[in-house]
Amino acid sequence: MGFVTVDLFAGVPVSDFRVAQTWYEKLLGAPPAFFPNDTEAVFELADHRYLYIEHLPARAGFAMLTLFVEDFDERIATIADRGLQPVSVETYENGVRKAIFRDVDGNEIGFGGAPRPV
C-alpha cells in the first residue's frame, strides 16, 4: 500500500454563526480560509487539516475536539493575548497537558501538549 494523503475536516455545530466565527478567529488566530456557503466557515489548521463551523442550532454544543500541538505553552499564552482563557488546564499522570476552551454553545476545543521538558 502506498502513501495516501488524508484531508481532515472536523466540524463544530454552532447556533450563532457570526458570534462563533469571531470566537474561533480569536481561538485560532486567523480568519477562515474559505466559506463553502453562507452557513459554514473553514479554518485551516495545517496542511490537509481543517476545523469548520456550521450553523446547526439543534446540534450546537456537543462537539469535542483536541488539537495536539508542539508549542503548547506559547499557543495558550497567545490565545490569552487575544482575549480567551481556558476553562480548565489538566496535566495527566504521564505529564501530557491539556487546555480546554468552550465556545458560547459549550463546544469543547482542547489543545494538548507534550510533558514539560525536564
**Rounded mean pLDDT, 56-60:** 98
Per-residue confidence (pLDDT) for residue 116, from 0 to 100: 86
Cβ atoms within 10 Å of 91's Cβ, excluding its own: 12
pLDDT, one tens digit per residue, over 89-107 is 999 999 999 999 999 999 9
Confidence of residue 118 (pLDDT cuts 50, 70, 90): confident
Q: Across residues 74-97, what is the average pLDDT?
A: 97
**Cell numbers representing residue 38 in the block:** 453562507
- At 38-55, the pLDDT tens digits run 999 999 999 999 999 999
- pLDDT at 109 (0 to 100): 98
Residue with cell 470566537: 23
Model confidence over 4-31: pLDDT tens digits?
888 999 999 999 999 999 999 999 999 9
Helix residue ranges, H only, 1-118: 17-28, 72-81
Domains of the chain in start order, with CATH, are: 8-113 (3.10.180.10)
Dist. CA 32–CA 68, nearest whole Å? 20
Is the Cα torsion angle 57, 61, 65, 71 positive or negative in sign? positive
Give the span between the Cα atoms of 99 and 88, in whole angstroms: 6
